Amino acid sequence: MNQPKKILIITYYWPPSGGPGVQRWLKFVKYLPEFGWKPTVFIPENPSYPIVDESLSKEVSDELEIIKTKIWEPYQIAEFFGKDNKKFKAGQFDVGNNQSWKSKLSIWVRGNFFIPDARVFWVQPSAKFLKKYLKENHFDAFVTTGPPHSMHLIGLELKKEFPRIKWIADFRDPWTEISYYKHLKLTKSADQKHRNLEQQVFEKADITLATSFSDAENFRQKGANAFCITNGFDSEVKSMNPEAVKPSENTNDTTTQKPNNLTKFILSYIGVLEQLRNPEILWKVLNELIQENEDFKNDFELKFVGRIDEKILEKFENSDLKKSIKNLGYVSHSEANTEMQNSDLLLMTNFPEESSKGIIPGKIFEYLATGNQIISFGPKESDVKKILEETNAGKHFSYDDSETIKHFILEKFEEWKSGDSSARTQNIEQFSRRNLTKKLTEIL
């Protein structure tokens, strides 16, 4: 029997971290042994996670080797300037009139002094530790996954020392092309430093991974050997309700027959909702529907499952939507999956700028696995739109499509009232975590 190849994953996010950042490599690590690769994971010993989800620790195998070093992060300094600066840990910011002078100063410091991010102080200690570790232990490949993109600076240091070990730089989000980059209030020299470091990673990494088709193409144009491996869904999403997804004669298709929710027509948003991705056009349309349609007003529920920016919640206080909102706050990943299953329509949002068309929020794949319909917002010709059309799983809108948005929601509401909540999705198995891991090992 052939010995498994060995791969080292260098990541900041790992259980008990919650949120979307941890999911990708938690699942790759789960399935890599099936395809002849033995993973080892390198993480910080004392991280400052924005969200904690202890339930995810159950998914980590007892046989997995995990190595750690200590980290120092300056977030306590940022939080001294104001409690809203806790959002920095998750790459979120107050925008427009919501920015105080303290917030503006903190953002400027964050962008210009901590390059590429506030975890940069982990780079040199980690590089020193891992150089010694790699001299003593054989590995065929190592992975750096960002954000935080300071992980890739660890990769640059290791590649200099070990040129024969294959380096995979995984970008769960872009670096200088991410929508919030322009909000960092960068000086010209700081901007250039960000771009130079990004370029070095693209040129030195053997493989660059992107989570969207557009990002992979952008990375290739910058000189990277880039491939797209999207995020995906794992088996536990579908197993939450075995009846939710039934194979048809075509194994790529699924027919969903969801029991009609007898009490409310539920539109759910699962995850973190920040100001930069706030679909104000949707709230306007829902307010109008409540005012115009008595049945809709009585039967509709807008459910938030996750952390919603306080400024967004404040604006709901003075709207007709207020009485229709149920805010559950952050729940465990398994509970979030249950809420997805028990919804009639699932909401997904993206940044409105054209430069964000390549962002594919990870939750879309878990949404797909439920078989429920999806309503999505973002740039017009986005990768998300492509996936929804390919899978027949819902509809994508730009932020100025009020009439078509209203028509779509009413159409789904009428289907719910009539008890016809069946929908046909197709081609979703390509996004299973096992199949995506197989694709990763083929690239390796």
Dihedral class, residue 96 (left if φ above 0, else alpha if ψ from -120 to 50, else beta): left
Question: From CA 79, how far away is CA 372, in angstroms rounded?
Answer: 39
Please give the pLDDT value at position 75: 54
Determine the pLDDT at residue 45: 93
The pLDDT profile of the chain, 444 residues, written as one tens digit per residue, is 578 999 999 999 999 998 878 999 999 999 999 999 999 999 999 998 888 889 899 999 999 999 999 988 875 554 444 444 444 444 444 455 545 556 666 666 666 667 888 899 999 999 999 999 999 999 999 999 999 999 999 999 999 999 999 999 999 999 998 767 777 778 899 999 999 999 999 999 999 999 999 999 999 999 999 999 999 998 755 544 343 333 333 334 444 445 444 589 999 999 999 888 999 999 999 999 999 999 999 999 999 999 999 999 999 998 999 999 999 998 988 899 999 999 999 999 998 888 888 889 889 999 999 999 999 999 988 999 999 999 999 999 999 888 899 999 999 999 999 887 666 788 899 999 999 999 999 999
Instruction: Count CB atoms within 10 A of the CB of residue 314.
Output: 10
What would the DSSP string read from start to end of 67-126? EEE----THHHHHHH-GGGGGGGGT----GGG--HHHHHHHHHHHHHSSS-GGGGGHHHH
* Strand bridging mode 207-210 / 5-10: unpaired
Q: How far apart are CA 203 and CA 218, in angstroms?
A: 14
User: What ranges make up the beta strands (E) of 249-366?
Assistant: 253-256, 265-270, 300-305, 325-329, 345-349
Choose among 7, 8, 10: nearest CA to 144.
Answer: 10
Specify whether the CB–CB gap between 409 and 375 falls below 8 A: yes
pLDDT at position 243 = 37
User: Cα-atom radius of gyration of the chain, to the nearest Å?
Assistant: 22
The residue behind tokens 């080892």 is: 40
pTM: 0.79
Q: Taking Cα atoms as reference points, which of 290, 293, 306, 302 lies closest to residue 265?
A: 302
Look at residue 99 in the predicted model and tell me its pLDDT: 52
